[in-house]
Chain A
Amino acid sequence: MRFLLRRAMETLLVLLVLSVLVFLLTSLAPGDPAEEILRRGGIQPTAASIAALRAELGLELPLPVRYVRWLSDVVRGDLGLSYVDRSPVTGEILSRLPATLRLAGAAALVAAGLALLASLRPRGLGGRVITAVTVVVASVPPYIVGILLISVVAVGLRALPTGGGSGPGAVVLPALTLGLAGAATLTRLLRADLGQALALPFVRLAAAKGLSARRAVTVHALRVAAPNAITAGGAVLADLVAGAVVVETLFSWPGVGQLAISAIRQRDVPVVQAYVLVIGAATVLLLALADLCLAAADPRVRRP
């Protein structure tokens, strides 16, 4: 119980620091959002309407006042209005979050599936191939991987759509692009840990007793190797959610990442703030969740 409470307090503190950072980074970014908003279409706004818009957006207030106002709205679930079209940002984020979660979930399946496949038979050909492929893919930027997949699979073979949120096949290419990169970390970790675990005396004893190799891995070794993988899994999952930005843009995937990119282009500060806050909070919570899983799996962690 005390462990849970301590972790909760820590998480809350991290979230508060996160909110300050998000607010400061986006508010202190150079450039005048009022001018940018009015400069649509490449035409030059008048000074009077820039001043009027700055007042309307509350940009003239002192920074601490703006932060407190913003935070109290955020806590109540109000992420403000988009500078561009005045629509509520909360609704915008919520309507796009499922697409990002679907993509991140599919990518997580790819990553976890590949990592498990590669680790269960560490010395087999399949394992070696998967490890090699994921490491190669992970060392190439996802943007390049995505373009290659699009030009070969979608444009060349016409086997799958180039992207977009429609159709059941549309998720495959973005999920592969995103998942392959995540798989590399997991695969290497799991393979190394599993190799060590298999060498532990009690696992070898189990094998000596006549236990099948598969059973020795799944029942005994995987448990010993799990803690590191859980920690890495949390980080990889957080990476997938955040890393969706590039992949979503490339594949016209209607998620929050694509929203963030277009918001950054248009200097739509409330949307950018909301995106960074939501992704930041998701990362903090995922890592906290991984910690809890770790504590459940490994009693040593729970000791103060």
Chain B
Amino acid sequence: MYEHLETAANPAGLKRVAVDPVSRVEGHGKVTLLLDDQNQVQQARLHIVEFRGFEKFIQGRPYWELPVLVQRLCGICPVSHHLAAAKAIDQLVGIDPADLPAAADKLRRLLHFGQVLQSHALHFFYLSSPDLLFGFDSEIGQRSVVAVLADHPEIGLQGVKLRKYGQEVIRMVSGKRVHGTGAIPGGMNKALSREERDYLLQDIGQIVDWAKAAVALVKHLHNANRPFNDQFATIRSNYLGLVNADGALELYHGGIRAKNADGTTLFDHYDYCDYQDLIREEVRSWTYMKFPYLTALGKADGWYRVGPLARVNNCDFIDTPLAEVARVEFKQQLADPALVHSTLAFHWARMIELLHCAERIEQLLADPNLLSSDLVAQGSKRYQGIGVIEAPRGTLFHHYQIDDNDIVTKANLIVSTTSNNTGMNESVRQVAAEYLSGRELTEPLLNQLEVAIRAYDPCLSCATHAVGKMPLQVELVDAAGRVVDRLIRHSNGEFARGDAV
């Protein structure tokens, strides 16, 4: 591993390069490199702006506001926060997952599959396909989805329409594209009408076909440069995520399974309500984001990865036919030997999940019970609720405590990107050590750092996008702290060098 590059032995005499913010990820991140006089990388770090104030934002609110309120934490995965909060709040009103009315459970799953589908389509087609189709060092103007639309219009348009379909699923179930109110304590607040179901049925066959094509595309792209893609940013790690009771891939509700890098199961079907015994979070002085680890393995060995690669690695099978065929082929081709460790294989695993979601949406739409209006269960108040869900980027924990007046007194969130913090840093250090060290840094080389981070699909939480914000700024600072070069990439895509900000 590359942990020796986390902190340089003698940072005072080194040049500093910052990539700030990292582009084409959700939100803001910053990479800093410290280089010696021979441009050898001595230190590499990914800094992520913590989800600042999230818990404080939630505390003091009545619990029933949370399913709507938490959607405002993130512009990309509001539904994931909505459903994780809903699962926690079910417990506050005395409803365990098994007590939820069947139709409410199905509607929530439909909502979740729509969310994962649209998020995975966004990531692959909008954010990552330019790198994969045109190359990491292609001309920068080409590295955008607009170039994909121009050069590969069929692929680009399929990505647009896949994402749009996922959003339409969300709109039909929750009533709105964003800030819908589908889930309520103990169930759902709106039945799906026959007309809404039929509207979604019109296109689902096409969506499954396009999702299948997306798996074929990512397989082709990975295999086109197999040795490089297998090694780039690749690290061996533990993997954590939910699985179904029968070991199947599970995105909505299950027990926690973790495997080590050799594929040995560390624990299985662990009740997520006891997550605080399982996971601890380490604080390091140089970043706001914490570093979670498995308590039993300790800080040094207990870090783990979550998300599509972890889920496809962890599960025994996928319970939809096309995605299962894709999973078997994925493991046969890439497993080393039991698990797939290639960081770029996140993309492949992500498209397998996209296909799974399309298939599950098709199955759910064919279920007549989906239209039932029996949607809410009632129970007795509890003072603590914990909800865990597999969000597009990985396992998402919501934990609340309330008082006698139903006000939230304590909230704890562990978001997927936090769980991948060590993994992303290790991948950044691998790329810095293997591909950048000793070379003159250029924009295409720096993009390789971003490619490594982007594979994880990190959600760095911004959702603030006012006109004029979000330029990219790269600074080269000498040993005395003087800025010797500066490159600004404005929000309209134009570049400026020097002080011309």
Determine if chain A interacts with chain B. no
